[in-house]
């Protein structure tokens, strides 16, 4: 597997990019498999490129940035098995060559209006918008695959690309879950066994919400489940799916696409999850997007 540090080392002519910060797990590999299949289908010369870049502009806590897993050799081997054509692992200087390149991100409303991740992690989406735009430019991505697990991020990037009139198409991939229902995340490795059990309250709260018939009842159901597990959420909300804004009580349910979103700290790890709302008939954790 080629590990490219410079954009010139990548095969030109267009690729599908899978942006990651490394520390890859099975959830990422599903994004890579999807990216590789689309790149092949579209005959893109650059194939599927996986970027591995721990982006300093999106961390609110220096500690989190420092301890973020850095395992590029192992990541590259996993990418090769999943069908990627190259790994792009640029330096901070390549992504942000000047102080100006770290400023003035193009940010859609969903990056700062909903009061969800944007409130819990101030400045986070400014960093995500900055780095995604740069990674799209550096790799010449025609498409970029993002997991639905980071739902607000997916909406931010989709809206940013629309604002920029960019040629990069954003491709959404469903959330991958472990057998117990926990959404896969690089940070799960820091959970103790006990915290992992408590963390399952997030997906359970979303399933409980899905059985209710109004957003208000759904949100109350989520809080009950989290409360019983001793998890204090940063938020547990049912919102319009793409702007993530709350809608007035009484909004006809079927006139809107909704999303239930939840985040909270369990032990030293912040977990987040989301599912479509209301749940479709027979929906289980693995069908929860």
Question: Which candidate, 157, 187, 186, 180, places its Cα nearest to that of 169?
Answer: 157
Among 10, 16, 19, 156, binds ligand PAF (CB under 6 A): 19
Does 278 sit behind a cis peptide bond, omega within 30 degrees of 0 on the bond before it?
Answer: yes
Please say if 28 is a catalytic residue: yes
Query: Which is closer to ligand PAF, CB of 190 or CB of 214?
Result: 190
Q: Considering the rule CB under 6 A, would residue 21 count as an interface residue with ligand PAF?
A: yes
Q: Output 157 or 275, the one with its CB closest to ligand PAF.
A: 157
Is-contact 88 138, C-beta < 8 A? yes
Q: How far is CA 262 from CA 162, 267, 273, in A?
A: 26, 16, 5
CB of 137 to ligand PAF, least distance (A): 14
Residue 68 φ then ψ, to 5°: -60, 130
Binding status of residue 150 toward ligand PAF by CB under 6 A: yes
Q: Looking at 98-106, 125-133, 223-231, 274-282, which segment touches ligand PAF (CB under 6 A)?
A: 125-133
Question: Which x/- pattern, by CB under 6 A, does the window 38-57 give for ligand PAF?
Answer: -----------------x--
Q: Which is nearer to ligand PAF, 153 or 203 (CB)?
A: 153
- In 229-281, alpha helices (H): none
Q: Is residue 131 a contact point for ligand PAF (CB under 6 A)? A: yes
Whichever of 19 and 264 has its CB closer to ligand PAF, that residue is: 19
Name the minimum Å distance from CB 241 to ligand PAF.
18
Identified catalytic residue from 25, 28, 124, 177: 28
Q: Which stretch binds ligand PAF (CB under 6 A): 17-25, 109-117, 203-211, 224-232?
A: 17-25
Phi, psi of 38 (to 5 degrees): -70, -40
Pairing of strands 86-88, 2-4: parallel
Q: Which two three-digit tokens encode residue 235? A: 């938020």
Smallest distance, ligand PAF to C-beta of residue 16, A: 14
* DSSP character string of 148-186: TTSHHHHHHHHHHHHHHT-SPEEEEEPPPB-TTSPBP-G
Encoded tokens for 37: 């299949």
d(CA 52, CA 21) in angstroms, rounded, equals 5
* Candidates 62-70, 92-100, 124-132, 239-247; binding stretch for ligand PAF (CB under 6 A): 124-132
Residue 85 or 150 with smaller CB distance to ligand PAF: 150
**Of all helices (H) and strands (E), which one includes residue 277?**
strand 269-277
Q: Which residues bind ligand PAF (CB under 6 A)?
A: 19-21, 55, 58, 128, 131-132, 150, 153
The residues assigned a catalytic role are 28
């Amino acid at each position: 597997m080629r590990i490219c540090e410079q954009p010139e080392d990548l095969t030109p002519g267009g690729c599908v990019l899978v942006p990651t910060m490394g520390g890859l797990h099975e959830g990422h590999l599903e994004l890579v498999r999807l990216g590789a299949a689309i790149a092949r289908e579209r005959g893109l010369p650059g194939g599927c490129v996986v970027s591995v870049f721990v982006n300093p502009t999106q961390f609110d806590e220096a500690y989190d940035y420092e301890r973020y897993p850095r395992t590029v050799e192992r990541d590259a081997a996993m990418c090769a098995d999943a069908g990627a054509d190259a790994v792009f692992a640029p330096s901070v200087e390549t992504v942000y060559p000047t102080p100006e390149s770290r400023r003035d991100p193009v940010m859609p409303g969903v990056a700062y209006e909903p009061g969800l991740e944007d409130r819990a992690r101030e400045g986070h989406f400014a960093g995500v918008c900055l780095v995604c735009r740069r990674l799209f430019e550096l790799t010449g991505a025609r498409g970029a695959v993002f997991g639905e697990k980071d739902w607000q991020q997916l909406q931010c990037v989709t809206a940013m690309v629309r604002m920029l009139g960019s040629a990069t198409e954003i491709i959404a991939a469903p959330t991958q879950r472990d057998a117990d229902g926990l959404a896969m995340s690089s940070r799960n490795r820091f959970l103790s066994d006990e915290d992992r059990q408590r963390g399952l309250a997030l997906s359970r709260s979303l399933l409980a919400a899905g059985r209710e018939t109004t957003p208000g009842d759904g949100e109350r159901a989520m809080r009950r489940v989290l409360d019983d597990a001793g998890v204090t959420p940063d938020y547990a909300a049912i919102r319009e799916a793409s702007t993530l804004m709350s809608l007035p009580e009484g909004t006809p349910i079927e006139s809107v696409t909704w999303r239930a979103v939840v985040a909270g700290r369990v032990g030293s790890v912040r977990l987040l999850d989301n599912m479509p709302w209301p749940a479709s008939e027979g929906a289980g954790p693995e069908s929860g997007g």
